[in-house]
Structure 1
């Protein structure tokens, strides 16, 4: 199975493509980081990220897209940018009929390191080791995108989809979102 992993961000969006092989082996296909300049207008920035995502989808034709689930942070503008990029990715995948799976950061960390609270360095080190790379993908957004793709590949495509939350954390998140909509 070929998977495009996406670490969404408005300034840097990690994009990593892996092939899942027999016996839980993973092969690197491609990795990049789409960038946009913080001084540009948001529509222009989203367009730049969208073009990079479209290129990855057209070039590598993944069977699935794995995306880091947006989670609440203290910085609202960061959350908004991540959510907007996530929407761009979901639309691009939907246009091609490619399923989208969502993962929390702790789910990805646990999948690749065995520890849901692992740091970026530990995730990067494990991605490097799992893919047999000579050096760690940089910046961290690239390694994170590959980790997301690996997590999905190891689940065999049976991960939570964009329309269905399945883990306890995802169910609580969905319930909180529904409650907020009822209040607002």
Structure 2
């Protein structure tokens, strides 16, 4: 499975590409950070991020895009910029029929380090070890993008099992409702027939 990890942001947007193998085997293929100047108009900043992400999608052909979900941030302006950057990338993926999954920062930290409250240094250190890199990826946005891709590789089987369980539950509920409706119709029919017999 080829996963494109995205750590969205307006000033710096981390993008990575990882191949997931058997078990927990992962191989880093590429990583980069897209930068946009703060004085550039918002629409142009988003366009630059979208163009870069689309180039990665068209060049590398990922099976899925893993994007950090904006969970909560004290700085509302930063949170909005992060959400906007993630949104244009998700849209570009949807246009290409590429699956998009969102992971919260705590999910990524827990998957990579075993602790949902790990700091950036711990995440970067584990990413460097997991991928067997000679030096830690910099800046932090690059490491975060790699962490997102690895997180998805390792969580994908569980996500698939949960989706299948939800699908089966929905199908069972649909079948139950259909049987219930049939039973009600049959019961109403018997009641009506019984009433006609009594009037005779």
- Into which bin does the TM-score normalised by the smaller protein fall? 0.7 to 0.9
Q: Give the corresponding residue for 2:33.
A: 33
Considering only aligned residues, what root-mean-square deviation do their CA atoms show, in Å? 1.4
State the alpha-carbon separation in 2 of the partners of residues 63 and 91 from structure 1: 15
1:58 Cα deviation (Å)? 1.0
State the alpha-carbon separation in 2 of the partners of residues 155 and 140 from structure 1: 22
State the alpha-carbon separation in 1 of the partners of residues 88 and 40 from structure 2: 17
State the secondary structure of the residue aligned to 2:19.
strand
Q: Give the corresponding residue for 1:76.
A: 76
Q: Give the corresponding residue for 1:118.
A: 118
- Structure 1 length-normalised TM: 0.84
State the secondary structure of the residue aligned to 2:23.
helix
Alpha-carbon displacement from aligned partner over 1:8-52 (angstroms, at most 9, x marks no partner)? 000000001100011311001110001100011101110111111
Residue-pair matches, total? 161
Which consecutive residues of structure 2, in runs of 5 or more, have no partner in the other structure?
A: 161-165, 167-200
- Structure 2 length-normalised TM: 0.78
Q: Give the corresponding residue for 1:7.
A: 7
Asked whether the equivalents of residues 102 and 159 of structure 1 are also in contact (C-alpha less than 8 Å), the reply is: no
4+ aligned runs moved over 4 Å, structure 1 = none
Asked whether the equivalents of residues 101 and 159 of structure 1 are also in contact (C-alpha less than 8 Å), the reply is: no
Task: Give the number of the structure whose alpha-carbon radius of gyration is greater.
Answer: 2
State the alpha-carbon separation in 2 of the partners of residues 31 and 137 from structure 1: 9
